[in-house]
Amino acid sequence: MELAGKVAVVTGAASGIGLATAQALTAKGAKVVVADINTEGGKAAAKELQDAGAEAVFIEVDASQEESVANLIAETVKAFGQIDIMVNNAGIRALSETHLLSYEDYRKVIAVNQDGVFFGSKHAIREMLKTGGGAIVNTASILGSVGEARAFAVSASKGAVKLMTKSLALQYADKNIRVNAVSPGYIETAMSNRTTLSPEAYERSVAKHPIGRLGRPEEVAHAIIFLCENDFVTGATIMVDGGYTA
């Protein structure tokens, strides 16, 4: 798929991996909707892209709420006429020992990380079916492949995302809609960095990546671009994890 002129929606694009993906997509000439629950950050991100000469708008969304996601897709079509690329990237994490994890906190993680992929895919696919196809990329995680103490809810949601990706890929392959995922290791974003992790936790995380450092958001964005561009890849999950799961 040639990305120039294509319309892409990126959820969780106010920061981190989503922002790097929005930047990479606009660098390829795509029009981008910066979709995030963080209005201030999302508007700033869209402005930064516009200032760099890109076509970008901010649309507020709560990825965990179907009505909000349906509105995001409707507003995207209003702004740009169609949707070619959907990057379901918004995510949160809650770390807790499972016997202390409240059902509410567990549901919150499932709602954003897993329900968000369902809603984003469902409503984007409805538009893609009208226009003859498109590409969906979901952000999974190494925690959907390997276990980690205290990451129970994240693992549940990200494991689901990987298999939801395969199910969607099979279901829509003959409709020219490809569905893939990226599975990042620990990436230097607001979620995992020297500020949010204790020095010990940071060093422990680095030690789990054979490459000897955490990843950069642009390195995940690079894989997302590949999955958008390559027309023969569907149902795949690319590990971008410095060898963590090798």
Q: Could you list the residues that contact ligand NAI (CB under 6 A)?
A: 11-12, 14-18, 36-38, 41, 61-64, 89-92, 112, 139, 141, 184, 186-187, 189-192
Cβ at position 176, least distance to ligand NAI in Å: 26
Shortest distance, CB of residue 198 to ligand NAI, whole angstroms?
A: 15
The values of phi and psi at residue 134, to 5°, are 165, -170
Q: How far is the CB of 28 from ligand NAI (least distance, A)?
A: 20
Q: How far is the CB of 144 from ligand NAI (least distance, A)?
A: 9
Pick the closer one to ligand NAI by CB: 27 or 197.
197
In the bound complex, what is the minimum distance in angstroms from residue 158's beta carbon to ligand NAI? Answer: 7
Q: For residues 22 and 125, which CB has a smaller minimum distance to ligand NAI in the complex? A: 22
* Bridge partner residues of 59 (DSSP): 35
Which of 212, 213, 151, 215 has the alpha carbon at shortest distance from 183? 215
Tokens (6 digits) for 184: 């990042």
Please tell me the distance from the alpha carbon of residue 219 to that of residue 139, in angstroms, as a whole number.
13
Nearer to ligand NAI, 192 or 234 (CB): 192
Amino acid at 5: G
Could you tell me the smallest distance in angstroms from the CB atom of residue 60 to ligand NAI? 8
Distance, CA of 29 to CA of 23 (rounded, Å): 10
d(CA 225, CA 73): 21
List, as one string, the DSSP characters of 14-54: TSHHHHHHHHHHHHTT-EEEEEES-HHHHHHHHHHHHHTT-
Which residue, 139 or 234, has its beta carbon nearer to ligand NAI? Answer: 139
> Which one, 41 or 133, has the nearer CB to ligand NAI?
41
Whole-angstrom Cα distance, residue 219 to residue 36?
21
Read off the amino acid at residue 230.
Answer: N
Closer residue to ligand NAI, CB minimum distance, 110 or 129: 110
State both tokens at 157: 């949601």
Based on CB atoms, which residue is closest to ligand NAI, 18 or 134? 18
Distance of alpha carbon 128 from alpha carbon 4, whole angstroms? 17
Provide the minimum distance between the beta carbon of 5 and ligand NAI in the complex, in angstroms, as a whole number: 26
Compute the residue count for the chain.
246
